[in-house]
Amino acid sequence: MAFGQLIDCIIDLLFRINGTESFLHRYQGYRSNSCVLWKRKNNLSWSISWKIINKIQILDSQRIRGIITKLVKQNPDIFDGNCYVAAFGKVGKSGDVIMYEFNHSVSIREEMLIKVSDLPDLPSNSKIVFVEDLIGTGAQSLNYITTKLNLLLNPSHIPYLLTLCATPEAITKVHDNSNFTILAGIELVEKEYQHYTSASSYFSDAEKKLLKDLNNRLKDPRKFDYDRGLLLAFHYSMPNNSMPILWKEGYKYKDKHGEEKEWLALLPRYF
């Protein structure tokens, strides 16, 4: 057995012993024993790969429901009899998942849970809380608000966007360009969550350079870049604001030598 393979086997065993393998199984798309395979694919050193893996946060259903419950308790004046709750975003996406979790976290009357299509029929001065999992750049959220929701909301309606996580810049962007109030469970500040920035010290400058170069190879330059350098996942899916090296399953790219390759994700994103 080659020395490199021996190291891989030792580290794979260590991941099993220290609970990392069990932790990663909280993500529904995780494939058993894929840490070593993913590391071989990314061509990063074990020291950097180890740092990435051990910094990943996976919000399972229990954590999500805890965040929702806390936000509701912190804002009792919003969630009264004149309040309605709806999923944010396209049907079948993350907003619907959080709507399900909301319904199983908070005791709320069934008639308060609505669909976006119900908005025009709601009473005047209604408070409407839209639920979502993450606001990364604010661009997608603001686009949905301006092109969809604003066409259905009554001018007297008071809209809120309850999100599990949000970056400070996204909160500011939505606040400054819409009449929505953001209720964020976790504020994804640069120092703790946005690992490309100078404010974050988790990776060295040299490591950041390597990570940004590798992640940029997994991006279509013709599309908007939502990557915020996050190492964050929800149990049902990985947000596109997290590093693409974690979730960009099957993406065809060219390595630094110009060789065509296909990416193997650690936590594949399916929607």
Domain containing residue 16: 3-56+190-227+231-262
Percent of the chain with pLDDT over 90: 76
Check residue 40 and give its pLDDT.
84
**Given CA atoms 8, 14, 19, 22 in this order, what sign does their dihedral have?**
positive
Q: What is the pLDDT of residue 9?
A: 64
Q: Which tops the pLDDT comparison, 3 or 62?
A: 62
* pLDDT tier at 12, thresholds 50, 70, 90: low
Instruction: Give the pLDDT mean for 171-194.
Output: 97
Average pLDDT over residues 174-197: 97
Average pLDDT over residues 233-243: 96
Q: What is the pLDDT of residue 200?
A: 97
Q: What is the mean pLDDT of residues 89-110?
A: 92
Task: Say yes or no: 159 and 210 in one domain.
Answer: no
162 and 89 part of one domain? yes
Asked whether residue 122 is domain-assigned, the answer is: yes
Q: Specify the pLDDT at position 209.
A: 96
pLDDT at 168 over 90: yes
Q: Specify the pLDDT at position 224.
A: 77
Q: Are residues 169 and 241 in the same domain?
A: no
- Note whether 183 and 79 are within 8 A (CB): no
pTM strictly above 0.75: yes
- Report how many helices (DSSP H) and strands (DSSP E) the chain contains, helices first: 11, 8
DSSP element (H, E) containing 21: helix 20-24
Are 39 and 82 in a shared domain? no
CATH number of the domain where residue 98 is located: 3.40.50.2020
Provide, rounded to the nearest whole percent, the portion of the chain with pLDDT above 70.
93
Q: For residue range 112-154, what is the model confidence (pLDDT) as tens digits? A: 999 999 999 999 999 999 999 999 999 999 999 999 999 999 9
Residue ending a domain, among 158, 187, 216, is 187
Using 50, 70 and 90 to split pLDDT, how confident is the model at 51? very high
pLDDT, position 233? 97
Same domain, 76 and 167: yes
- Structural domain includes residue 183: yes
pLDDT at 70: 97
Per the structure, how many domains does the chain have? 2
Q: Exposed, middle or buried, 259 (CB in 10 Å: 0-12/13-18/19+)?
A: exposed
Q: Is residue 115 part of a domain?
A: yes
